[in-house]
Every structure is written in C-alpha cells, then in structure tokens.
Amino acid sequence: MMKHWARERPDLDASSLGVLGRVSRLARAAEENAATLLGQFELSEVEFLLLAAIRTAPDQHPAPRDLLDSLMVTSGGLTNRIDRLEAAGLIERIANPEDRRGIRLQLTDAGRRLVDQVTTAYVENQNKVLDAALREDERDILARLLRKLLASPSFDGDPRLAAASEPRPRLGRPARPRRGQPGT
C-alpha cells in the first residue's frame, strides 16, 4: 500500500502506515499465538493474567479491585473470570481481614501448579518467537523503541504503558551466540 501512496501522492510520507501497520499485525499475531498456547491449558488470556497477577502479588492475596486496572476488564468481567477459575478449583475467595465486607483471592495448590506450568510454557514460547527473528541486541533495541513510542504524547504518554514493557531479567536463559559467530 505504501508503494501505491508513493506513486499517487509523492508529496505524502506514508512510511508511518508501514511501521504502525506492522506493529498492529505483530500484536494480532502475538495475541493469536498466545491464545493458541493458552487454549491448550483451557485458559483465556485474561484468566491466565488473573492467575499470574495473584501468583505475583506481594502477599499473593490481592483484592479483586486491585487487579482491575492491570487486567483491563470491567468489574463484572473480572467476577465472571473469578467464578470460572474458582469453579475449576484454581483459586478461592478468602475473607479480607482488613475489610469484613471484602474478599481477597488466593491460588489453590492446583492453581499454583497450573500458573507455574503455563508461565514456563508461555515464556518459552515468547522467547522462541523472538529468538527466531532477532538477536538479543536487536530485542533490546526493539524493546527500547517500543517503550519510547508507548510513552510518547501521541499515545497519551501513559507511563503505565511504557512501564509495563520495562525489560525483565532473563533468568535461566543462556546467552545465545550472535549470528556469524561460532555456534550459529
């Protein structure tokens, strides 16, 4: 499409269409890839993220309202996910000692085992996808550029968007040889 615009409107720099179009296609492909993987565990992305949020919460007993922003679902949508995961024996509601009217969530033993298993498979899958196309230095550059875009005023400069993509330590992964070096 950019070639067509270049021919029809040489005065117009349409390169942004290519860049943002690729980002959109990449996001859709990543979502489909994740959905396929999570489907093997009979989880939706939001259900996986809910289990992971409970697992990684500082006290591992978050109140549902504390998860709404990070999961980007409505309170009704969250309640439905909690109900489903509770019925599956993966989480349980417990009394909130700080507020008798409220509840907190905790993983059951089965929920903890499942979220750990899914997280391992999910991270390995994500690494495989990126490692197939990018060297480690390229991954770092791409991550930096995406954080910069997400933090820009064009995307409301929402620091949560940029912070959500802060690099995480890559524990347990040996460094890959660079292309063109022995072992590649």
Integer Cα distance of 19 and 36 in angstroms = 26
Q: Is the pTM of this model over 0.95?
A: no
State residue 170's pLDDT score: 46
Q: Look at 20-29, 113-122, 174-183 and tell me which has the smallest mean pLDDT.
A: 174-183
Helices (H), the chain: 2-8, 15-39, 45-56, 68-71, 75-87, 109-131, 136-150, 159-163
Q: Percent of the chain having pLDDT more than 70?
A: 85
Instruction: Determine the CATH number of domain 24-133.
Output: 1.10.10.10
Integer Cα distance of 66 and 87 in angstroms = 21
Instruction: Report residue 139's pLDDT band, with 50, 70 and 90 as the boundaries.
Output: very high
Inform me whether the pLDDT recorded for 172 exceeds 60. Answer: no
Inform me whether the pLDDT recorded for 155 exceeds 70. Answer: yes
Element (H, E) at 93: strand 91-95
Instruction: Report residue 59's pLDDT band, with 50, 70 and 90 as the boundaries.
Output: confident
Q: Look at 5-9, 62-66, 153-157, 167-171 and tell me which has the smallest mean pLDDT.
A: 167-171
Q: How far is CA 149 from CA 111, 152, 179, in A?
A: 36, 5, 28
State residue 152's pLDDT score: 86
Phi-psi region of 172 (alpha: psi -120 to 50; beta: other; left: phi over 0): left
Inform me whether the pLDDT recorded for 78 exceeds 90. Answer: yes
Mean pLDDT score across all residues of the chain:
86
Instruction: Report residue 159's pLDDT band, with 50, 70 and 90 as the boundaries.
Output: low
State residue 169's pLDDT score: 45
